[in-house]
Amino acid sequence: MSETTDQTAATTQLSGAGIGQGIALGRVLRMSDPLPEPDTTPSTRTPDEEKARVAQAVATVAADLRERASRVTGTAADVLEAQSMMAEDSSLADDVASRIDGGTTAERAVFEGFGVFRDMLIGLGGYMGERATDLDDVAQRVIAALEGRPAPGVPESDEPYILVARDLAPADTALLDLTKVLGLVTREGGPTSHTAILAREKAIVAIVGVAGADDLAAGTEVILDAGAGTVSVAPSAAQSDDARRRIAEREAALSGGLEPGALADGTAIPLLANLGSADGAQKAVDAGAEGVGLFRTEFLFLDARMAPTVEQQREQYVKLLQAFPGKKVVVRVLDAGADKPLEFLNDAHEDNPALGLRGIRALRANEDILREQLTALAEADRQTKADLWVMAPMVATVEETRYFMQLAGEFGLKTVGVMVEVPSAALLADRVLREASFASIGTNDLTQYTMAADRLLGSVAGFQDPWHPAVLRLVGEVGAAGAVHGKPVGICGEAAADPLLAVVLVGLGATTLSMSPAALADVRLSLTRYTLDQARALAEAALAADGAAEAREAVRTTAAGFAQPPA
Amino acid sequence: MAERIITVGSTHGLHARPAKLFVEAVGASGAKVSLSKEGGRTVDAGSILGVISLGIDHGDKIVLTTDATNGEAVLDDLAEILTTDHDA
Residue A194 falls in the annotated catalytic set: yes
Rounded-to-integer distance, Cα A156 and Cα A301, Å: 38
CB-CB contact of A324 with A386 (8 Å): yes
User: Do A117 and B20 count as a contact with CB atoms less than 8 A apart?
Assistant: no
B49 part of a folded domain: yes
Any CB–CB contact under 8 A between A349 and chain B?
no
Nearest Cα to Cα of residue A508 among A548, A545, A541, A485: A541
- The pLDDT value recorded for residue B88 is 46
B88 part of a folded domain: no
B7 part of a folded domain: yes
- The pLDDT value recorded for residue B6 is 87
Q: How confident is the model over A206-227, as pLDDT tens digits?
A: 999 898 898 899 899 999 999 8
Any CB–CB contact under 8 A between A347 and chain B?
no
User: How many domains are contained in chain B?
Assistant: 1
Rounded-to-integer distance, Cα B11 and Cα A90, Å: 27
Any CB–CB contact under 8 A between A255 and chain B?
no
Residue by residue, what is the 3-state secondary structure of A365-422?
HCHHHHHHHHHHHHHHHHHCCCEEEEEECCCCCHHHHHHHHHHHHHCCCCEEEEEECC
Rounded-to-integer distance, Cα A473 and Cα A529, Å: 23
Quote the radius of gyration of chain B (alpha carbons, Å): 11
- In what helix (H) or strand (E) does residue A386 lie, and over which residues does it extend? none
Eight-state DSSP code of residue A196:
H
User: Do B16 and A124 count as a contact with CB atoms less than 8 A apart?
Assistant: no
User: Do A124 and B20 count as a contact with CB atoms less than 8 A apart?
Assistant: no
Assign residue B57 the CATH number of its domain: 3.30.1340.10
What per-residue string of b and e applies to A517-544 under the rule 16 or more CB within 10 Å gives b? bbbbbbbbbbbbbbebebbbbbbbbbbe
The C-alpha of A480 sits at a distance from chain B's nearest C-alpha, in angstroms, of 45
Three-state DSSP state, A418:
strand
Rounded-to-integer distance, Cα B14 and Cα B24, Å: 13
pLDDT band at A279 (very low <50, low <70, confident <90, very high): confident
The count of other CB atoms within 10 Å of the CB of residue A335 is 25
Which domains, ranges and CATH numbers included, belong to chain A?
3-31+154-253 (3.50.30.10), 47-147 (1.10.274.10), 259-516 (3.20.20.60)
- The pLDDT value recorded for residue A3 is 44
Eight-state DSSP code of residue A46:
-
Rounded-to-integer distance, Cα A387 and Cα A328, Å: 5
Range 51-110 of A in CB contact (< 8 A) with B: 78-79, 81-82, 85-86, 89-92
Of A91, A127, A305, the CB nearest to B49: A91
Q: Is the pLDDT of residue A273 over 60?
A: yes
Any CB–CB contact under 8 A between A304 and chain B?
yes
Longest Cα pair distance anywhere in chain A, in angstroms?
82
* Number of residues assigned to chain B: 88
Q: Is the pLDDT of residue A1 over 70?
A: no
CB-CB contact of A228 with A48 (8 Å): no
The C-alpha of B53 sits at a distance from chain A's nearest C-alpha, in angstroms, of 6
Q: How confident is the model over A529-555, as pLDDT tens digits?
A: 999 999 999 999 999 999 999 999 999
B40 part of a folded domain: yes
Mean pLDDT of all residues in chain A? 88
Instruction: Enumerate residues 6+ apart whose C-beta is below 8 A from A385.
Output: A321, A325, A326
B74 part of a folded domain: yes
The count of other CB atoms within 10 Å of the CB of residue A40 is 10
- The pLDDT value recorded for residue A427 is 98
CB-CB contact of B56 with B8 (8 Å): yes
ipTM of the shown complex: 0.82
Q: Show the domain range for B30.
A: 2-83
Rounded-to-integer distance, Cα A17 and Cα A449, Å: 22
Of A82, A90, A127, the CB nearest to B12: A127
Q: Is the pLDDT of residue A286 over 90?
A: no
